[in-house]
């Protein structure tokens, strides 16, 4: 997890909801996961409908390292091998 990743995730969500970032809090521990909470301000009555499945998939894609993407591409091309 990095500042750059945090900024990309927040920008993606704010863009999807036509919102602006107000505040954020990041929690990182010894666990393999990080937690990001942020407040995004929207304009009343101007919140677009967002496909949450697509948004989640895009956030997941943002969190992948290039090595993860390479592994997925190789597995697709050559099949899964131990």
Beta strands in 1-82, from DSSP E residues, in sequence order: 20-28, 34-41
Say what the pLDDT of residue 81 is.
67
Q: Does the predicted TM-score (pTM) go above 0.85?
A: no
> How many whole angstroms separate alpha carbon 69 and alpha carbon 47?
32
Collect all residues with Cβ–Cβ distance below 8 Å to 22 and sequence separation of at least 6.
38, 39, 40, 41
The pair of structure tokens assigned to 67 is 């090595």
> How many whole angstroms separate alpha carbon 8 and alpha carbon 22?
15
70: β partners:
none
Give pLDDT tens digits for 12-67. Answer: 999 998 988 788 888 888 877 788 888 888 888 888 898 999 999 998 888 877 77
Say what the pLDDT of residue 82 is.
56
């Amino acid at each position: 997890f990095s500042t750059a990743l945090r900024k990309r995730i927040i920008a993606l969500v704010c863009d999807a909801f036509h919102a602006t970032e107000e505040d954020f809090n990041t929690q990182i521990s010894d666990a393999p996961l990080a937690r990001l909470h942020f407040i995004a301000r929207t304009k009343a009555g101007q919140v677009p409908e967002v496909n949450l499945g697509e948004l989640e998939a895009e956030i997941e894609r943002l969190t992948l390292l290039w090595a993860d993407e390479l592994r997925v591409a190789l597995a697709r091309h050559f099949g899964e091998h131990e």
